[in-house]
Amino acid sequence: MKLPEQLQEYIDELHEFNQPEEKYELLIEYGSQLPELDEQYQQEKNLVPGCLSIVYIHSEERDGKVYFQGKADAILVKGLVYILTTGLSGMNKEEFLTLEPTFLTELGLQESLTPSRANASVNIFKLMKQQIEQ
């Protein structure tokens, strides 16, 4: 399945860098662009399990498309949240639900991030899917 254009752009941009430090800088830049998450969505049901940092994800469906917002307290994880929420928002619900997390390895961050941070992206994506499936 073809990835959403915005998500593919993030993947391509991350692949332009070979050094972990360069990827960190890009993640920090992405994270600085993450909009604030309204406090009403910062509740237990939106808390991503299995993350060392505090991460909230709010998902909603409108007109057959899915939209995401998020918040993280760790600067690098904020970048991951930005990539996932903006890269996947606007997808058709059915396409989103059939999306496999294999695209997360295409980001090329496994060798740059600690295992717990790299795993955060998987946990964030799982919660996004669970919220949309409900």
By C-alpha distance, which of 25, 37, 106, 110 is closest to 67?
37
Q: Architecture of domain 5-133 in CATH?
A: Alpha-Beta Complex (3.90)
Domain ranges of the chain: 5-133
51 is catalytic: yes
* Alpha-carbon distances of 61 from 44, 69, 89, 96, rounded to whole Å: 20, 12, 10, 11
**Side-chain-side CA neighbours of residue 21 (13 Å):** 0
Is the whole-model pTM more than 0.85?
yes
Instruction: Return per-residue pLDDT of the chain as tens, 134 residues.
Output: 789 999 999 999 999 988 888 988 999 999 999 999 999 999 999 999 988 889 999 999 999 999 999 999 999 899 999 999 999 999 999 999 999 888 888 887 766 666 666 678 889 999 999 999 98
Indicate which residue of 14, 51, 104, 124 is catalytic: 51
